[in-house]
Structure 1
Amino acid sequence: MSSLGEFELIAQYFARAHRPLPTQVVLGIGDDCALLQPTPGMQWAISSDMLVSGRHFFADVDPRTLGHKALAVNLSDLAACGATPVGFTLALSLPEANAQWLHDFSQGLFALADAHSCPLVGGDTTQGPLNICITVFGEIPPGQALLRSGAQAGDDIWVSGTLGDAALALHCLWGRDALPAPDLARARQRLEQPSPRVALGQALRGVAHAAADVSDGLLGDLGHILKASKVGADLMAADAMNLIASSAYSTSANGLFDPQSNRTAAVLEYVLSGGDDYELVFTAAPAEREAIAAAGTKSNTRVTRVGTVTSAPGVRVLWPDGSQALGKWASFDHFKAVATPGS
């Protein structure tokens, strides 16, 4: 058991007095409150996420990758809103003050924070079950936030990056699927070190009508957009299946468009309901296709059109011949899920 106290822990691993702060951060770590001042004419964008050992990550996860993911899931919310990161707070419950764990965790955390100019401005630490709660602050011009409620019938539906590999990795770690070691390593990186699409979110301001980050599965998070916008969607199953990157499940490598194939069903499950991808799903008018492509190029992010917003409610997953793909896909629900990373 370490003899390191709470304030020594903060000073050694989380206080970074030598780092310059953004102009919006008037006062950071060291007082009872941080003081933030938004850029004149801007609005705050604020989001909180909690990661709990055994529910959101394996207990033996590499602390460096855990530090990355803890902040990445919050930055992904800012990306979905189109906001620019300003700073974040960290509330950390630890079973013990393990020096090596704290060093690696803070290194992973701050590497991503520095990449997005998003400093730690405050928080709290205590002893208890491993639990990480981050609140992130961003800013955005009034009226330019990407919301869930703006989708319109006729909009294209787009997805950034790839989907399904994080869920595939999780199923392999549970022993429910299998991949060759190199493929599993790449898929596990998608699970444990997601890339928040902050630059893409900012590039989509004034272009996309609605957006959400894909944390609990494409169908579930797209569903939030559709419900808020009072619309429905037709998803193209073949295009959705092409979103998975793992070579063992690649449609281009395996020709998985047979609706009766078990591997087709597996790909659709991973892509449509897998979760933990932290990509963006967004809608935009067909006239904006060139602008969407330019936003993807500018942010160095793949963007794929996977469907259409409809006036008819509900979501239909369609094959190229117009027939409906049949399946029971359900996105992750914290209070309904039985299996967890620690189970």
Structure 2
Amino acid sequence: MGEFDLIARFFQRPAHRAAGHVALGVGDDCALLQPAPGTQLAISCDMLVEGRHFLPDVDPTTLGHKALAVNLSDLAACGAKPLAFTLALALPRADEAWLAGFARGLFALADAHGCELIGGDTTQGPRNICITVFGEVPVVNGRSQALLRSGARPGDDLYVSGMPGQARLALEALQGQRSLPADVLPALRQRLEQPTPRVALGLALRGVASAAIDVSDGLLGDLGHILKASACGATINTSDAINSIAAGVDSTRPEVQFLMQLPIEQQQALVLAGGDDYELLFSAPPTARAAVQAAARASATPVTRIGSIETTPGLRLVDAQGQPVSGRFASFDHFA
């Protein structure tokens, strides 16, 4: 099977929205997008490398899902509606069974979000997946409605969706670093390999949140990007935050109970620095608390207030007694 046969068989489909945003899709030297009047294009790109971002034996269907999900998560953090994406795929060989599973997972998520594959590239080499995703955000009275990292202000509340830390637990188990009960691993593995991009929440937070970012490398590390861009600081009560997060996502679930029964130091490391969560971390003024909860309900996404934005630069972690929390919670860095 040649390169163009591979593309035609597994990745070329009739455009679902020929009269809408995608004027020309797969099959030409360039795709053509037609954004709606009064909108901006939001563009993001993520690369997944075998052995670095996913295990060699991962199910190709779940990998197809995750490859697109991590990009949709970036659109969610910007409050952007998904439009289309490109796919660059390097493969050691044209394995038809692998390609069929990968395409199945990829397109299932793409169709769920109305996001069209419009082009890309294939080549032979170590397995590598690179997706560029395109979304749109409205411009109202000349002002973009995009959620940015730079909008947090002193006095704002700090929120996170879902429960960070579960993906890291699964990764440690799959790497043989931790043993998990049989009724716990499947749910945690799904959080690692099939994360849910919080697109609906991101859209609901437009005009509500002051700043946002998706949690991919670890909650505290990604919070640091907001604090730097917004030139401010933050305080998080780690005990209250972790307990509240667990209660918000349903503390009766076995995987949540398992995490919450771990020593507090391990809970902190997992929730604050675990990575691969693809949840949304965002700030909003106290006057918007009702609106935040309304956005959470509208998107069917648990959201927890975990701290506050402050004038003094830096990040302060305190325990239930208000005492500083010791420990280093380093987020993932490819070149550290």
Q: TM-score, normalised by structure 2?
A: 0.94
- Residue 200 of structure 2 aligns to a residue whose secondary structure is helix
Q: What amino acid is the match of 2:66?
A: K
Tell me how far 1:182 sits from its aligned partner. 2.0
Q: Please, which runs of 5 or more residues in structure 1 have no aligned partner?
A: 257-262, 337-343
Paired residue total:
324
Question: Does the 8 A contact of 1:69 with 1:192 survive in 2?
Answer: yes
CA RMSD in angstroms comes to: 1.2
Tell me how far 1:18 sits from its aligned partner. 6.3
For 1:142-221, what aligned pairs fall within 5 Å after superposition?
A: 142=139, 143-221=144-222
Match of 2:102 among 102, 105, 121: 105
Tell me how far 1:22 sits from its aligned partner. 6.1
Paired residue for 1:287?
287
- Per-residue CA deviation, residues 2-51 of structure 1 (Å, 9 max, x unaligned), is xx111110111001126444611100001010001110110000000000
Distance 1:308 1:35 in 2: 43
Question: Does the 8 A contact of 2:15 with 2:25 survive in 1?
Answer: no
- Per-residue CA deviation, residues 167-188 of structure 1 (Å, 9 max, x unaligned), is 0111111222221022011111
- Residue 15 of structure 1 aligns to a residue whose secondary structure is coil
Tell me how far 1:240 sits from its aligned partner. 3.0
Question: Does the 8 A contact of 1:249 with 1:267 survive in 2?
Answer: no
Question: Does the 8 A contact of 1:239 with 1:305 survive in 2?
Answer: no
Question: Does the 8 A contact of 2:240 with 2:320 survive in 1?
Answer: no
Distance 1:81 1:247 in 2: 28
Matched, 1:302 2:311: no
- Residue 287 of structure 2 aligns to a residue whose secondary structure is helix
Question: Does the 8 A contact of 1:240 with 1:271 survive in 2?
Answer: no
Question: Does the 8 A contact of 1:21 with 1:119 survive in 2?
Answer: no
- Per-residue CA deviation, residues 267-315 of structure 1 (Å, 9 max, x unaligned), is 1001111100000000000110000000000000000000000111111
Q: What amino acid is the match of 1:80?
A: A
Aligned pair in 2 of structure 1 residues 115, 104: CA closer, same or farther (>3 Å)? same
Tell me how far 1:319 sits from its aligned partner. 1.4
Matched, 1:115 2:96: no
Paired residue for 2:252?
none
Distance 2:288 2:18 in 1: 37
Question: Does the 8 A contact of 1:22 with 1:86 survive in 2?
Answer: no
Question: Does the 8 A contact of 2:15 with 2:116 survive in 1?
Answer: no
- Residue 301 of structure 2 aligns to a residue whose secondary structure is coil
Tell me how far 1:250 sits from its aligned partner. 4.2
Distance 1:122 1:322 in 2: 53
Match of 1:247 among 239, 243, 256: 256
Distance 2:110 2:322 in 1: 45
- Per-residue CA deviation, residues 163-215 of structure 1 (Å, 9 max, x unaligned), is 10000111111222221022011111100000000010011011000000000
Matched, 1:78 2:75: yes
Matched, 1:40 2:49: no
Paired residue for 2:268?
268
For 1:124-135, what aligned pairs fall within 5 Å after superposition?
A: 124-135=121-132
Distance 1:21 1:152 in 2: 42
Q: TM-score, normalised by structure 1?
A: 0.92
